Structure 1
Amino acid sequence: MQSNSKEKRILQFRLRQIQKRALEKGLQVRVLKRFNYICFVENKRSESLYLTLIITGGTIILLLLISFGIQYALSCRCLLPLNYLVWEVARPLADCSYCANVTKPIILWNVTRHSFKPYAYSSKPIIVKNSVTHWSAIKYFSYYMFKRLYEATSGSYESLEGCQFLNFKTDLFSLKEVFSMSNARVRNEPGEKPWYVGWGNCHSEILQKVRKYYSIPDFLPEDAEYPATENIFFGYEIGAVMHLDYIPRLMWQGQVRGRKNWIIAPVPECEHECQRIEYYVEPGDVVLLDTRLWYHSTSIPKGQFSITVQSEYG
């Protein structure tokens, strides 16, 4: 009897230690209270006590693992890039006037800075046709041009640490992997997996060289603020999945090669008032969109290779 009593006290002590560690890790007290009776079991058979302790200990450990798993998921860029889930939950409700009665993008031709002024900070989707056809990027930008540039520049891949790289639904997880693909996959030959990636061009030497091939669209406001770098997106078929951008400014994107299809949709609270829209852009076009308010996805027509230059203004 004394042996059983001693054994029970040891088990109760161990359980209290588990509970203490659980509380230190953030488990709520009310959850533990549901199991407190185990520490005060009297006149129970030892087999029952063992079984109850095992089940309870396992439950506490499971709850801790779930808690840690959620915290990890919310902080892990690979699972939820840039904490999109947290940002979406914290996003303020939108005023649906931004999308009310919008059924197609505004299409502009022969735009000057003056004629663009009424549209400059609009939340409506806009396509400015043939506005960057003078970019030499349209002639020279290619997968192999960027590959040669990054491989010839010292520290080019290291410069991407802490800089945005988006692999979308592609099984490539760094720019170095992108530039290590077989020629067959680069050309998206039959039997090869399509690919599509984007990255922030953060290496100052490379940025200086590629900016010789394009410029900020000259119709954008002269007094607007622009980020220090631009993003490059290229690849086949896949495009970006439906998402919002959590950025401080409006987005512009110049289509350098290929055609790109866009699908945009209002935020959930405006679905009763606004509608989904589909459109496409062609080489030389610039698409403008408030991607903080419009959910958007993109895709590239089968067989076409798309390259775009993207940035912000505001």
Structure 2
Amino acid sequence: MSMNKNVKPTRKLIAKEPHEMTHTEKLRLIDDELNAFYKYCQQAGFTEDEMDIICQPLVAAMRRSWLQLVFQATLVLITFGTLICLVAQLDFVGTHFSAIGRLLMIKFLPIWNWQPLYYENCMMNNPFYNDYAVTEEDCVACEALENIDRLSDVQYRQLVDNYLNRDAPAIIIDAMNSWTAMNTDFFWFDNITHLYLENERLMETVPCALTSNLRTGSSDLAAFLRRVHSPGVAKWFVHWQNCDINAVKVLRKYYQRPYFLSSAVSPAHFNWVLMSSDYNSPNYKRVELDSGLIALAQLRGATQLRLTPINPCNISCPELIADLHQGEILVFTNLIWNLEYAPVRGLDNIAILTETVWEEDI
């Protein structure tokens, strides 16, 4: 490919030295040079394809320069974000970050009202999830109930037909006779404390819900367990929900599938621990459960239970109150029931609650 040597690109004289020029002047000079080169190529008779080939090294160099700029900016942002996260692990820094963040969110309120989003369980709606609303027609299942039946040697089909599919709760009194935990002292609260404090995976997990009468200044479960492990702490209660998969799996090792449940029923997706020591209060403690099949197993001590009907069933259905003793399991579907409990005074009480996805056609 030959070039016309008689045609030369025009070049403006540089009035200033390069180090004396401003950034804008340098860009203008480069733009002038490129325009002059483009006109030169046109006058030389080059086609568009030939001009693309000629300019390819320049385009590749500019692309590499842009990618390097993006890479450097990303590296700076990652490094800065990592440093912020590390510094935020310090308690006093994290507290200040939290306070500043809350103040900023309050300042945003006139522009964006984020309060409804704060109280939602999910930030995004699942189009495949239909939240079932209880109606008065559902209340016929509980209006004739007077108490919670206590059963033994119950068959799965009998439990489903006579209780679960009718939203009627039941207490199975012989469901835990074969459990290893019932024949050892492993589940005393000292051992539960050791279980969490000595397991790195459990130490790193944060419960999705934790309620207690003890104030530790932190929502960290490990901080609470260290406190109750002290022999000087008395008269306390706590319940927390394990929703982290690591914590759920570890706790699964210490309870078994009850004999009255079919193997077709899926394993519990969440589990709870309920513990108390010599705690007495006239007020029941609410356990905020997801909908599904609920099983509460009393491992040590005793617990007084209260099942309260959900609105509108609270008009036509009674509250159900019963004592759950060591070795017994309360089982129910919580479509129309809220679960509340009160620890029995003078005892060390330990119970494990499981939440399982439940389909009536199982």
Task: Report the TM-score range of the alignment, normalised by the length of the smaller protein.
Answer: 0.5 to 0.7
Match of 2:208 in 1: 164
2:115 equivalent to 1:74: no
Q: Deviations over 1:143-168 (max 9, x none)?
A: 2212222222224221x24x523225
**Shift of the alpha carbon at 1:270?**
1.9
How large is the RMSD of aligned CA atoms in angstroms?
3.4
Aligned residues of 1:103 and 1:277 also touching (Cα < 8 A): yes
1:1-314 to 2 correspondence within 5 Å?
Answer: 64=109, 70-71=115-116, 74=119, 82=121, 92-94=133-135, 95-113=138-156, 115-118=158-161, 119-138=163-182, 139=184, 140-158=186-204, 160-161=205-206, 163-172=207-216, 173-182=219-228, 183-184=230-231, 186=233, 188=234, 193-200=235-242, 202=244, 204=246, 207-208=249-250, 210-228=251-269, 230-236=271-277, 237=279, 241-242=285-286, 245-247=289-291, 249-313=292-356, 314=358
Decide whether aligned partners of structure 1 residues 302 and 185 sit closer, same or farther in structure 2, where only a CA change above 3 A counts. farther
**Shift of the alpha carbon at 1:112?**
3.7
Unpaired runs of 5+ residues, structure 1, are 1-60, 76-81, 84-89
Identity %: 17
Decide whether aligned partners of structure 1 residues 272 and 257 sit closer, same or farther in structure 2, where only a CA change above 3 A counts. same
**Shift of the alpha carbon at 1:275?**
1.1
Equivalent position amino acid for 1:194 in 2: W
Decide whether aligned partners of structure 1 residues 244 and 154 sit closer, same or farther in structure 2, where only a CA change above 3 A counts. closer
* TM-score scaled by length of structure 1: 0.63
Unpaired runs of 5+ residues, structure 2, are 1-105, 123-130
Decide whether aligned partners of structure 1 residues 300 and 127 sit closer, same or farther in structure 2, where only a CA change above 3 A counts. same
Query: Residue 207 of structure 1 aligns to a residue in which SS?
Result: helix
* TM-score scaled by length of structure 2: 0.55
In 1, the alpha carbon distance for the partners of 2:164 and 2:191 equals 33
More contact order relative to length (CA 8 Å, sep ≥ 6): 1
Decide whether aligned partners of structure 1 residues 267 and 243 sit closer, same or farther in structure 2, where only a CA change above 3 A counts. farther
In 2, the alpha carbon distance for the partners of 1:301 and 1:131 equals 21
In 1, the alpha carbon distance for the partners of 2:133 and 2:248 equals 38
Aligned residues of 1:111 and 1:131 also touching (Cα < 8 A): no
